[in-house]
Amino acid sequence: MNIAILDDFLGVVQSLDVYRKLDGHQVTVFRDPLTDVDELGRRLAAFDALVLSRERTKITASLLDRLPNLRIISQTGVIPHIDVPACTQHGVVVCSTRTGPSYTTAELTWGLILASMRHIPQEAVALREGRWQTRFGRGLRGRTLGVFGYGWIGALVASYGRAFDMKVQVWGREGSLARAREAGYDTAPDQRTFFETSDIVTLHLRMLPETDGIVSAADLAAMKPDALFVNTSRAALVEKGALLAALRAGRPGHAAVDVYDQEPVVGALDPLVSMDNVVCSPHVGYVTRDRFEIMFESAFEQVDAFARGEPVNVVNPEVLGR
Protein backbone atom coordinates (compact mmCIF):
# COMPACT_ATOMS: atom_id res chain seq x y z
CA MET A 1 0.00 0.00 0.00
CA ASN A 2 0.99 3.62 -0.55
CA ILE A 3 0.93 5.05 2.98
CA ALA A 4 1.25 8.64 4.25
CA ILE A 5 2.14 9.31 7.89
CA LEU A 6 1.10 12.84 8.82
CA ASP A 7 2.37 15.48 11.23
CA ASP A 8 5.53 13.84 12.53
CA PHE A 9 6.63 17.15 14.06
CA LEU A 10 9.78 15.71 15.66
CA GLY A 11 10.78 13.54 12.73
CA VAL A 12 10.98 10.44 14.91
CA VAL A 13 8.48 7.97 13.48
CA GLN A 14 11.00 6.27 11.20
CA SER A 15 13.32 5.74 14.18
CA LEU A 16 10.72 3.76 16.12
CA ASP A 17 11.17 0.02 16.49
CA VAL A 18 7.58 -0.51 15.34
CA TYR A 19 8.21 1.26 12.04
CA ARG A 20 9.41 -2.11 10.76
CA LYS A 21 5.78 -3.24 10.76
CA LEU A 22 5.38 -1.26 7.54
CA ASP A 23 8.10 -3.19 5.71
CA GLY A 24 6.88 -4.04 2.24
CA HIS A 25 4.71 -0.94 1.97
CA GLN A 26 5.57 2.35 0.29
CA VAL A 27 5.68 4.98 3.06
CA THR A 28 6.02 8.77 3.00
CA VAL A 29 6.36 10.74 6.24
CA PHE A 30 5.31 14.38 6.42
CA ARG A 31 6.64 16.57 9.24
CA ASP A 32 5.06 19.95 8.44
CA PRO A 33 1.39 20.50 9.27
CA LEU A 34 -1.05 21.67 6.61
CA THR A 35 -4.54 23.06 7.21
CA ASP A 36 -5.49 24.30 3.74
CA VAL A 37 -7.82 21.72 2.20
CA ASP A 38 -6.61 22.25 -1.37
CA GLU A 39 -2.96 21.88 -0.35
CA LEU A 40 -3.73 18.79 1.70
CA GLY A 41 -5.69 17.33 -1.19
CA ARG A 42 -2.79 17.80 -3.59
CA ARG A 43 -0.33 16.34 -1.09
CA LEU A 44 -2.38 13.25 -0.25
CA ALA A 45 -4.26 12.46 -3.47
CA ALA A 46 -2.03 9.53 -4.43
CA PHE A 47 -2.16 7.65 -1.12
CA ASP A 48 -4.17 4.54 -0.24
CA ALA A 49 -3.73 4.91 3.52
CA LEU A 50 -3.28 7.71 6.04
CA VAL A 51 -1.75 7.20 9.47
CA LEU A 52 -2.68 10.13 11.69
CA SER A 53 -0.83 11.42 14.70
CA ARG A 54 -3.78 11.86 17.02
CA GLU A 55 -5.86 14.96 16.20
CA ARG A 56 -3.32 17.10 14.36
CA THR A 57 -5.06 16.97 10.96
CA LYS A 58 -8.84 17.22 10.45
CA ILE A 59 -10.37 14.79 8.00
CA THR A 60 -13.44 16.49 6.53
CA ALA A 61 -15.85 15.67 3.74
CA SER A 62 -14.27 18.41 1.65
CA LEU A 63 -10.83 16.84 2.03
CA LEU A 64 -12.15 13.35 1.28
CA ASP A 65 -13.59 14.65 -2.01
CA ARG A 66 -9.98 15.33 -3.03
CA LEU A 67 -8.63 11.88 -2.10
CA PRO A 68 -9.91 9.43 -4.72
CA ASN A 69 -7.45 6.64 -3.84
CA LEU A 70 -7.90 6.67 -0.07
CA ARG A 71 -9.05 3.36 1.38
CA ILE A 72 -8.12 3.47 5.10
CA ILE A 73 -7.40 5.95 7.88
CA SER A 74 -5.59 4.55 10.91
CA GLN A 75 -4.68 5.97 14.29
CA THR A 76 -5.15 5.38 18.00
CA GLY A 77 -7.29 7.28 20.48
CA VAL A 78 -10.44 9.33 20.09
CA ILE A 79 -11.42 10.63 16.65
CA PRO A 80 -13.46 13.86 16.93
CA HIS A 81 -11.33 15.29 14.08
CA ILE A 82 -12.48 12.61 11.63
CA ASP A 83 -15.84 12.94 9.87
CA VAL A 84 -16.69 9.25 10.13
CA PRO A 85 -20.04 9.46 8.24
CA ALA A 86 -18.23 11.21 5.38
CA CYS A 87 -15.58 8.48 5.41
CA THR A 88 -18.33 5.88 5.21
CA GLN A 89 -19.94 7.70 2.30
CA HIS A 90 -16.59 7.77 0.49
CA GLY A 91 -15.93 4.10 1.20
CA VAL A 92 -12.99 4.82 3.50
CA VAL A 93 -12.39 2.48 6.43
CA VAL A 94 -11.56 4.18 9.73
CA CYS A 95 -9.57 2.14 12.27
CA SER A 96 -8.81 3.29 15.79
CA THR A 97 -8.37 1.75 19.19
CA ARG A 98 -7.50 2.93 22.67
CA THR A 99 -4.09 1.81 23.91
CA GLY A 100 -4.53 1.88 27.67
CA PRO A 101 -3.93 4.70 30.14
CA SER A 102 -1.57 7.47 29.07
CA TYR A 103 0.86 7.42 31.96
CA THR A 104 2.93 10.02 30.12
CA THR A 105 0.08 12.56 30.14
CA ALA A 106 -0.58 11.96 33.83
CA GLU A 107 3.13 12.41 34.55
CA LEU A 108 3.28 15.65 32.58
CA THR A 109 0.21 16.91 34.42
CA TRP A 110 1.98 16.40 37.70
CA GLY A 111 5.13 18.00 36.34
CA LEU A 112 3.15 21.10 35.35
CA ILE A 113 1.51 21.25 38.78
CA LEU A 114 4.88 21.16 40.53
CA ALA A 115 6.42 23.60 38.06
CA SER A 116 3.62 26.10 38.58
CA MET A 117 3.27 25.79 42.33
CA ARG A 118 7.02 26.20 42.85
CA HIS A 119 7.59 28.61 39.92
CA ILE A 120 10.32 26.34 38.59
CA PRO A 121 10.51 27.77 35.03
CA GLN A 122 10.64 31.35 36.28
CA GLU A 123 13.25 30.58 38.93
CA ALA A 124 15.40 28.69 36.41
CA VAL A 125 15.36 31.71 34.08
CA ALA A 126 16.14 34.08 36.97
CA LEU A 127 19.09 31.96 38.07
CA ARG A 128 20.45 31.87 34.53
CA GLU A 129 20.20 35.67 34.49
CA GLY A 130 22.18 35.94 37.72
CA ARG A 131 19.33 36.39 40.21
CA TRP A 132 18.72 34.27 43.31
CA GLN A 133 15.34 33.30 44.86
CA THR A 134 12.89 35.69 43.23
CA ARG A 135 9.49 34.50 44.49
CA PHE A 136 7.65 32.37 47.04
CA GLY A 137 6.50 28.91 46.05
CA ARG A 138 3.53 27.00 47.42
CA GLY A 139 3.47 23.44 48.71
CA LEU A 140 0.98 20.70 47.85
CA ARG A 141 0.54 18.89 51.17
CA GLY A 142 -2.86 19.62 52.70
CA ARG A 143 -4.22 21.48 49.68
CA THR A 144 -7.28 20.34 47.73
CA LEU A 145 -6.71 18.77 44.34
CA GLY A 146 -9.81 18.84 42.15
CA VAL A 147 -9.84 16.18 39.42
CA PHE A 148 -12.48 16.86 36.75
CA GLY A 149 -13.05 13.51 35.05
CA TYR A 150 -12.18 10.20 36.67
CA GLY A 151 -11.15 8.06 33.71
CA TRP A 152 -7.79 6.38 33.19
CA ILE A 153 -5.72 9.56 33.39
CA GLY A 154 -7.85 11.24 36.04
CA ALA A 155 -7.50 8.19 38.29
CA LEU A 156 -3.71 8.27 37.92
CA VAL A 157 -3.51 11.99 38.74
CA ALA A 158 -5.78 11.50 41.76
CA SER A 159 -3.42 8.79 43.03
CA TYR A 160 -0.47 11.17 42.67
CA GLY A 161 -2.35 13.74 44.76
CA ARG A 162 -2.98 11.15 47.43
CA ALA A 163 0.75 10.28 47.45
CA PHE A 164 1.54 13.96 48.06
CA ASP A 165 -0.84 14.05 51.06
CA MET A 166 -3.36 16.23 49.30
CA LYS A 167 -7.09 16.22 49.82
CA VAL A 168 -8.49 14.91 46.53
CA GLN A 169 -12.00 15.61 45.30
CA VAL A 170 -13.53 14.53 42.01
CA TRP A 171 -16.19 15.93 39.71
CA GLY A 172 -17.61 14.46 36.52
CA ARG A 173 -20.41 12.30 35.25
CA GLU A 174 -22.18 9.96 37.63
CA GLY A 175 -20.12 6.98 36.50
CA SER A 176 -16.92 8.87 37.28
CA LEU A 177 -18.23 9.93 40.66
CA ALA A 178 -19.23 6.37 41.54
CA ARG A 179 -15.78 5.02 40.62
CA ALA A 180 -14.09 7.78 42.58
CA ARG A 181 -16.14 7.10 45.69
CA GLU A 182 -15.37 3.40 45.38
CA ALA A 183 -11.66 4.30 45.32
CA GLY A 184 -12.07 6.33 48.51
CA TYR A 185 -12.06 9.86 47.10
CA ASP A 186 -14.39 12.70 48.01
CA THR A 187 -16.76 13.97 45.35
CA ALA A 188 -18.10 17.49 45.03
CA PRO A 189 -21.85 18.10 45.37
CA ASP A 190 -21.94 20.17 42.17
CA GLN A 191 -19.65 21.71 39.57
CA ARG A 192 -19.65 25.23 41.05
CA THR A 193 -18.67 23.98 44.51
CA PHE A 194 -15.94 21.89 42.92
CA PHE A 195 -14.33 24.97 41.38
CA GLU A 196 -14.86 27.14 44.46
CA THR A 197 -13.24 24.72 46.90
CA SER A 198 -10.31 23.32 44.88
CA ASP A 199 -6.83 24.80 45.21
CA ILE A 200 -5.87 23.05 41.97
CA VAL A 201 -8.30 21.99 39.23
CA THR A 202 -7.03 19.59 36.57
CA LEU A 203 -9.08 18.50 33.54
CA HIS A 204 -9.14 14.91 32.33
CA LEU A 205 -12.10 14.64 29.97
CA ARG A 206 -12.55 13.29 26.47
CA MET A 207 -13.36 15.83 23.77
CA LEU A 208 -16.96 15.08 22.81
CA PRO A 209 -19.87 17.26 21.66
CA GLU A 210 -21.28 17.22 25.19
CA THR A 211 -17.97 18.28 26.78
CA ASP A 212 -17.29 21.17 24.38
CA GLY A 213 -17.01 24.27 26.62
CA ILE A 214 -17.97 22.30 29.71
CA VAL A 215 -15.80 24.62 31.83
CA SER A 216 -17.48 28.02 31.74
CA ALA A 217 -16.24 31.52 32.47
CA ALA A 218 -18.38 31.44 35.61
CA ASP A 219 -16.64 28.25 36.80
CA LEU A 220 -13.22 29.86 36.44
CA ALA A 221 -14.37 33.08 38.09
CA ALA A 222 -15.47 31.01 41.11
CA MET A 223 -11.92 29.78 41.72
CA LYS A 224 -9.70 31.21 44.46
CA PRO A 225 -7.31 34.05 43.58
CA ASP A 226 -4.32 31.82 44.37
CA ALA A 227 -5.77 28.70 42.71
CA LEU A 228 -4.18 26.84 39.79
CA PHE A 229 -6.06 25.63 36.70
CA VAL A 230 -4.41 22.82 34.70
CA ASN A 231 -5.40 21.58 31.25
CA THR A 232 -3.52 18.74 29.57
CA SER A 233 -6.64 17.39 27.83
CA ARG A 234 -8.11 19.68 25.16
CA ALA A 235 -8.43 23.47 24.92
CA ALA A 236 -12.01 23.28 23.67
CA LEU A 237 -13.15 21.81 26.99
CA VAL A 238 -12.99 25.41 28.23
CA GLU A 239 -15.38 28.06 26.95
CA LYS A 240 -13.54 29.93 24.20
CA GLY A 241 -11.59 32.90 25.55
CA ALA A 242 -12.66 32.22 29.12
CA LEU A 243 -9.30 31.12 30.53
CA LEU A 244 -7.41 34.14 29.21
CA ALA A 245 -10.05 36.52 30.57
CA ALA A 246 -10.14 34.73 33.93
CA LEU A 247 -6.37 34.89 34.36
CA ARG A 248 -6.35 38.59 33.52
CA ALA A 249 -9.10 39.11 36.10
CA GLY A 250 -7.13 37.18 38.74
CA ARG A 251 -9.44 34.21 39.29
CA PRO A 252 -7.76 31.77 39.11
CA GLY A 253 -4.39 33.32 39.74
CA HIS A 254 -2.39 30.69 37.85
CA ALA A 255 -2.68 28.18 35.03
CA ALA A 256 -0.61 25.41 33.48
CA VAL A 257 -1.55 24.28 29.98
CA ASP A 258 -0.35 21.80 27.37
CA VAL A 259 -3.17 22.39 24.84
CA TYR A 260 -4.27 25.39 22.79
CA ASP A 261 -7.11 26.62 20.58
CA GLN A 262 -4.92 26.47 17.49
CA GLU A 263 -2.00 24.06 17.25
CA PRO A 264 0.86 24.06 16.65
CA VAL A 265 1.61 27.36 18.40
CA VAL A 266 4.56 28.97 16.63
CA GLY A 267 6.04 32.40 17.18
CA ALA A 268 4.50 32.49 20.68
CA LEU A 269 1.30 33.77 19.07
CA ASP A 270 -1.06 32.35 21.72
CA PRO A 271 -1.36 35.01 24.47
CA LEU A 272 -1.19 32.37 27.21
CA VAL A 273 2.44 31.67 26.28
CA SER A 274 3.60 35.15 27.26
CA MET A 275 1.77 35.38 30.61
CA ASP A 276 3.98 35.23 33.69
CA ASN A 277 1.32 33.41 35.72
CA VAL A 278 1.00 30.57 33.17
CA VAL A 279 3.33 27.61 32.66
CA CYS A 280 3.03 26.41 29.07
CA SER A 281 4.26 23.28 27.29
CA PRO A 282 3.77 22.49 23.56
CA HIS A 283 1.25 19.61 23.74
CA VAL A 284 3.84 17.08 24.83
CA GLY A 285 1.64 15.07 27.18
CA TYR A 286 1.97 11.95 25.02
CA VAL A 287 5.22 12.85 23.25
CA THR A 288 7.63 10.29 24.64
CA ARG A 289 9.37 7.48 22.80
CA ASP A 290 7.72 4.74 24.83
CA ARG A 291 4.24 6.18 24.24
CA PHE A 292 4.91 6.62 20.52
CA GLU A 293 6.00 2.98 20.27
CA ILE A 294 2.66 1.89 21.75
CA MET A 295 0.52 4.27 19.69
CA PHE A 296 2.12 3.67 16.31
CA GLU A 297 2.37 -0.08 16.85
CA SER A 298 -1.42 -0.23 16.94
CA ALA A 299 -1.82 2.23 14.06
CA PHE A 300 0.63 0.33 11.85
CA GLU A 301 -0.87 -3.05 12.72
CA GLN A 302 -4.29 -1.74 11.64
CA VAL A 303 -2.94 -0.72 8.23
CA ASP A 304 -1.10 -4.00 7.74
CA ALA A 305 -4.17 -6.02 8.76
CA PHE A 306 -6.28 -4.10 6.24
CA ALA A 307 -3.70 -4.77 3.51
CA ARG A 308 -3.96 -8.51 4.30
CA GLY A 309 -7.74 -8.35 3.99
CA GLU A 310 -8.24 -8.83 7.74
CA PRO A 311 -9.19 -5.35 9.05
CA VAL A 312 -9.29 -4.80 12.80
CA ASN A 313 -10.61 -2.07 15.13
CA VAL A 314 -12.93 -0.76 12.42
CA VAL A 315 -15.04 2.20 13.54
CA ASN A 316 -17.38 2.08 10.51
CA PRO A 317 -17.76 -1.63 9.67
CA GLU A 318 -20.60 -0.96 7.24
CA VAL A 319 -17.95 0.11 4.71
CA LEU A 320 -16.49 -3.41 4.62
CA GLY A 321 -19.51 -4.80 2.78
CA ARG A 322 -18.97 -2.53 -0.19
Query: What does the mean pLDDT of the chain come to?
Result: 95
Top-level class of domain 103-280: alpha beta
Residues serving a catalytic function are: 234, 263, 283
Q: pLDDT at position 266, please?
A: 87
Domain ranges of the chain: 2-100+289-321, 103-280
Q: pLDDT at position 1, please?
A: 95
What percent of the chain is predicted at pLDDT more than 90?
A: 90
- 206-254 pLDDT, tens digit each: 988 899 999 999 999 999 999 999 999 999 999 999 999 999 999 999 9
Q: pLDDT at position 208, please?
A: 87
Does 2-100+289-321 match 103-280 in CATH topology? yes
Q: pLDDT at position 302, please?
A: 97
- 1-22 pLDDT, tens digit each: 999 999 999 999 999 999 999 9
Q: State pTM to two decimals.
A: 0.89
Q: Is the pLDDT of residue 322 over 80?
A: no
Q: pLDDT at position 300, please?
A: 97
Where does 2-100+289-321 sit in CATH, by number?
Answer: 3.40.50.720
Stronger pLDDT, 26 or 98, i.e. the higher one: 26
Print the SS3 string covering the chain.
CEEEECCCCCCCHHHCHHHHHHCCCEEEECCCCCCCHHHHHHHHCCCCEEECCCCCCCECHHHHCCCCCCCEEEEECCCCCECHHHHHHCCCEEEEECCCCCHHHHHHHHHHHHHHHCCHHHHHHHHHCCCCCCCCCCCCCCCEEEEECCCHHHHHHHHHHHHCCCEEEEECCHHHHHHHHHCCCEECCCHHHHHHHCCEEEECCCCCHHHCCCECHHHHHCCCCCCEEEECCCHHHECCCHHHHHHHHCCCCEEEECCCCCCCCCCCCCHHHHCCCEEECCCCCCCCHHHHHHHHHHHHHHHHHHHCCCCCCECCHHHHHC
Q: pLDDT at position 165, please?
A: 98
